[in-house]
Amino acid sequence: MASEQGYVPGRHRIDEYGGGGFRFADMSHRGSILATPSGVRASAITQAAEIDAAVIDLAIADPSGPPDLLIIGSGAELRPLPGALRARLRAAGVGCETMATGAAVRTFNMLLDEGRRVAALLIAV
């Protein structure tokens, strides 16, 4: 990702995914990403089992305020988010949907196009 410390400010649709990365904002990035209402950042997550409270807190602590919904693209297959992490999101007033990364990208783009305050943690496939 061609930006300072792996961060691109602004709301960006995901134009492509696969091959171990994503294309957005006229750039390509190899690896996972966290897209929030204020920008897109690189994520070191490589599999759903690595998602922890720190990752969830990063999504919630968006400078523009927490998103209404966090979509988690868990890789090639659906991997449910543990109950404790779902509870953490619920306590912050953030909804959560977990699905395979392809479906998560499509859902994120649709909700972004609708102007919704949505964030997505997308694990590269």
Instruction: State pLDDT tens for residues 56-85.
Output: 999 999 998 999 999 999 999 999 999 999
Instruction: Using a pLDDT cut of 70, give the percent of the chain over it.
Output: 96
CA distances from 25 to 31, 105, 108 (A): 16, 14, 15
| Percent helix, strand and coil across the chain, each to the nearest 5 | 30, 30, 40
pTM: 0.93
Closest CA to 12 of 25, 1, 21: 25
Domain ranges (residues) in the chain:
4-122
Amino acid 3 reads: S
Give the confidence band of 52 by pLDDT, cuts at 50, 70, 90.
Answer: very high
Q: What is the CATH number of domain 4-122?
A: 3.40.1230.10
